Amino acid sequence: MALAVRTPRFQPRPASISAPTTPASTSLAAGNARPRPCAGAAVRASPFTEATSSSRYRRDAWSYAADGSSNSASPSSAAAAAAGRRDDEIALQLPELRRLLDVLRASRGRGAEEGGGPGRVALVGTGPGDPELLTLKAVRAIEAADLVLYDRLVSNDVLDLVGEGARLLYVGKTAGYHSRTQEEIHELLLSFAEAGANVVRLKGGDPLVFGRGGEEMDFLQQQGIKVEVIPGITSASGIAAELGIPLTHRGVATSVRFLTGHSRNGGTDPLYVAGNAADPDTTLVVYMGLSTLPSLAPKLMKHGLPPDTPAVAVERGTTPQQRTVFASLKDLVDEVKSADLVSPTLIIIGKVVSLSPFWVESSEHDALKVQSSYANEAR
């Protein structure tokens, strides 16, 4: 069916939330200004933080310039290091990270005389991309942060809410590039929390749904660090609502199942779930499933899911760059490939997809194309 690039009708999309004009935290040095996204950017421009994006290095510039010395690394050299070896980039950041830790520890030492203690960590879900889907609790935590460790799928609009007195550090992962290992992220969270910082770990969607938030929470709690989890709207809920798709519906779908499309070994074969996931009365939502879709779709049909089951693939859902492909399961792989969708793409498979008004529009669009083709042949 047709590729759709549109803002759905259900809720008008007002202007993005403005960044706070007053920094909510002044415990760290200011001077970490972050530019607003360009309004004239191309529709395919990512609303998220890609590994080598210039916005990332502007946000994280503080971590490459210890004491402003002339031999400090510049963001351009940091970008070059990222394009080369991950270890080179981390080495450039270490001096300033250590200096910041020393400052925090000295501050904590003075605070201890007044009854102070270690800092805390908040695992904050930022939803699928639209900043207006943030909870009020999430906004307050973001504004109050001293240090923000953020993932790739935290949108630029959400990062604009971070107070100017806070420091940001990218710890995102994408296929073929992990800026930090999970163990290194654990140690960063622990080190800064122990030094007395108010640390916010920003994650796209919900931190406890395919976000490895449970691992971070468990690690920190074992070290005696207080952890608060602030839930976010998971992509399945936010994107389904954007398209008018009820994940469950009486008489159509009695349950919903979330799957990760990532192969455990990094290959193209999905995890071994196709057999028991092929239930016509269940809505199947596949996160991070773009690379494994060509393997998953045939397996679902082989295990009994009807080939004409409605499905939709949604790239960068709830953002202005959202693109959608509606198709039957048997055609979905070809349609997604034709549309050249990119990550992040969420896939929803099930009869409830046909309840979306965009499914009807896509069907009508295809019918018109077929009629036009027949008319041209008749001539």
> In whole angstroms, what is the distance from residue 14 CA to residue 34 CA?
22
Q: Which residue, among 286, 235, 253, has the nearest Cα to 125 in the 3D structure?
A: 235
| Residue with token string 């270490």 | 94
The pair of structure tokens assigned to 252 is 């159509």
Closest to 20 (Cα-Cα) out of 133, 161, 202: 161
The residue annotated as part of the active site, out of 60, 146, 157, 288, is 288
How many beta carbons lie within 10 A of that of residue 48, not counting itself? 23
**Among this protein's residues, is 151 annotated catalytic?**
yes
> Which residue among the candidates 173, 330, 351, 366 is catalytic per the annotation?
173
* CB-based contact 204:288 (threshold 8 Å): no
Question: Mapping DSSP to helix (H, G, I), strand (E, B) and coil, where does residue 200 land?
Answer: strand
List the catalytic residue out of 130, 146, 151, 157.
Answer: 151
**340 catalytic per annotation:** no
Other beta carbons within 10 Å of 9 = 9
Please confirm, yes or no, whether 173 is among the known catalytic residues. yes
Q: Alpha-carbon distance 232 to 331, whole Å? A: 32
Per DSSP, the three-state class of 274 is helix
The residues with which 325 forms a beta bridge, in sequence order, are 3, 313
Q: Which residues are catalytic?
A: 151, 173, 288
